[in-house]
Amino acid sequence: NIARRTVAKYREQLNIPVARLRKEL
């Protein structure tokens, strides 16, 4: 999924855990 790829890119750029991104989303 593109959304998953976007999250992965954001995670690498922001260097934040998935839990945080998931909570924000």
- pLDDT for position 16: 62
Condensed to tens digits (0 to 9), the pLDDT of residues 13-25 reads: 776 666 666 666 6
The total of other beta-carbon atoms located within 10 Å of residue 11's CB is 14
Q: With 70 as the cut, is the pLDDT of residue 4 above it?
A: yes
More confident residue, 7 or 15: 7
Total structural domains within the chain: 1
pTM of the model: 0.33
User: What sections of the chain are H helices per DSSP?
Assistant: 2-14, 18-24
Residue range of the domain that includes 1: 1-25
- pLDDT for position 11: 73
More confident residue, 24 or 8: 8
Classify the phi-psi angles of 15: left when phi > 0, otherwise alpha if psi is within -120 to 50, otherwise beta.
left
| Mean pLDDT, rounded, for 2-13 | 80
